[in-house]
Amino acid sequence: MSEGYLTPPEEGDDKLNIQWYPGHMVKAKRLVQEHLKLVDVVIELVDARLPISSRNPDIDGIVGAKPRLVVLNKSDLADPQGCRQWVRVFKEQGLEAVAVNSINGQGLAQVSSLVRRLAQERMAALQAKGMRPRAVRAMIVGIPNVGKSSFINKLVKKGTAKTGDKPGVTRGKQWVKVGKDFELLDTPGILWPKFEDPEVGFKLAITGAISDTVMDIEGLSLRLLQKLSELAPRQLQERYKLSEPMGDPERLLNTIGSKRGCLMPGGAVDRLKAARIVLDEFRSGKLGLYTLDNPNL
């Protein structure tokens, strides 16, 4: 995740005090708008666990009428039924959508075929004007840490494996080949999520979209424990072999810390270490698979 676009939390501030640098955001948005002119299709990556909170709210205006594919990445970490519902919701809104896993490549074959299909009309129009057939060009946009680089790497490897001859990267150009008739802009566009809603900030923080260095890790994990003890008490109990009833997140964090041997010299629980464990295990799906944005709203 790129550094330097967050302000650090204020001393003693227990809220998620996250502020993007506005100048940085405007510049990145302008860059995306410039690159848009070069492509036939936009691939918008969102986090499958939060398909709305992980979007830039201006995305419709930025992309305009250009054909767009919404890719729900990290679908391996989301509730499978939630993924299916969200794909349906996007389709109902007139957007093509597909759930993928950029680590094992699941869903990526569909991405290639959908991109080609979305570009068909434009390619036909270009040829009708007498232009020679060329590869379909697409660019990736998405918020920090949503998996843009992983997605590109996996898609490109798949493509080159299929054609099996030349290396995938065309030097001197900013395009990466995905098979012979599909090219990706090699630098993804970064767009920012919206932070004004504290609930959105919380969801982005617990899924890892915000750099941990700017956050109160202990406070965040306490909120997460509170949420999980309401949402999925059994998962918590099983994972951490808890016998006591759920409830007070402060006590829960201490118990988890001592069960996992997070002790400081002198024997007190190292709560920061315990907090990191809870967050890491939630982010890697060990505490269950969740879709945190409700598709039915």
Ligand X SMILES: Nc1nc2c(ncn2[C@@H]2O[C@H](COP(=O)(O)OP(=O)(O)OP(=O)(O)O)[C@@H](O)[C@H]2O)c(=O)[nH]1
CB-based burial of residue 9 (10 Å sphere; 0-12 exposed, 13-18 middle, 19+ buried)? Answer: middle
Residues 6+ apart with CB under 8 A from 23: none
- Whichever of 118 and 140 has its CB closer to Mg ion, that residue is 140
The site string for Mg ion over 114-153 (x = CB under 5 A, - otherwise) reads ----------------------------------xx----
Whether the CB-CB separation of 119 and 41 falls below 8 Å is answered with: yes
Least distance from ligand X to the Cβ atom of residue 71, Å: 10
Distance CA 182, CA 99 (A): 20
DSSP 20: B
DSSP string covering 70-118: EEEE-GGGS-HHHHHHHHHHHHHTT-EEEE--TTT-TTHHHHHHHHHHH
Write out the H or E segment, with its range, that includes residue 282: helix 271-283
Which residue's Cβ lies closest to ligand X? 147
| 216 is a contact residue toward ligand X (CB under 6 A) | no
Judged by beta carbon distances under 5 to 8 A according to partner kind, the member of Mg ion, ligand X, none in contact with residue 2 is ligand X
Q: Indicate the residue among 269 and 287 with the shorter CB distance to ligand X.
A: 287
Q: Does 246 bind ligand X (CB under 6 A)?
A: no
- Closest distance of CB 148 from ligand X, Å: 3
The DSSP letter of residue 75 is: G
Number of H helices and number of E strands within the chain? 10, 7
- Taking CB under 6 A as the binding criterion, the range among 18-26, 137-145, 176-184, 252-260 that sits at the site for ligand X is 137-145
Site for ligand X in 69-98 (CB under 6 A): 73-74, 76-77
* Least distance CB 129 / Mg ion (angstroms): 36
Q: Which residues bind ligand X (CB under 6 A)?
A: 1-2, 73-74, 76-77, 101-103, 142, 144-150, 190
